[in-house]
Amino acid sequence: EDKVVQSPLSLVVHEGDTVTLNCSYEVTNFRSLLWYKQEKKAPTFLFMLTSSGIEKKSGRLSSILDKKELFSILNITATQTGDSAVYLCAVLNSNSGYALNFGKGTSLLVTP
């Protein structure tokens, strides 16, 4: 059975800190890994990763995938209170090329 595990489950940091969120997976016929940010209810898309070693970057957020060790990290530098949210990792496999398999998420709280 496919599995997506995120760590830590929750994290509290001070504004300005750098954080690293982890996502490991066991998926047959891996296709892609996605990161979403969820504030209140709607998950908003951050990154899609399909190839190992290629960093995706957007402002203070970046992410990279390691297909050999089966994990991805999401980095947030110079955190701000607006970064407080649940960060969800999801994996897509070839068997079901559309049904995202999500982890439980990491709840990040950035304090002033």
Partner 1 sequence: GAGVSQTPSNKVTEKGKYVELRCDPISGHTALYWYRQSLGQGPEFLIYFQGTGAADDSGLPNDRFFAVRPEGSVSTLKIQRTERGDSAVYLCASSLAGGSSTDTQYFGPGTRLTVL
Q: Which residues in this chain contact partner 1 in the complex, by CB under 8 A?
A: 4, 31-32, 34, 36, 40-45, 48, 50, 88, 90, 92, 96-105
Nearer residue to partner 1 within complex by CB, 17 or 101:
101
State the Cα–Cα distance between residues 57 and 35, nearest whole angstrom. Answer: 12
Distance of CA 103 to the CA centre of its chain: 9
Rounded to the nearest whole angstrom, what is the least distance from the CB of residue 78 to partner 1 in the complex? Answer: 26
Nearer residue to partner 1 within complex by CB, 14 or 41:
41
Rounded to the nearest whole angstrom, what is the least distance from the CB of residue 102 to partner 1 in the complex? Answer: 3
Nearer residue to partner 1 within complex by CB, 51 or 80:
51
Nearer residue to partner 1 within complex by CB, 36 or 110:
36
Rounded to the nearest whole angstrom, what is the least distance from the CB of residue 87 to partner 1 in the complex? Answer: 11
- Token pair of 66, please? 């390691």
Rounded to the nearest whole angstrom, what is the least distance from the CB of residue 31 to partner 1 in the complex? Answer: 4
- Token pair of 69, please? 């060790």
Q: Which of 16, 10, 8 is nearest to 112 (CA)?
A: 16
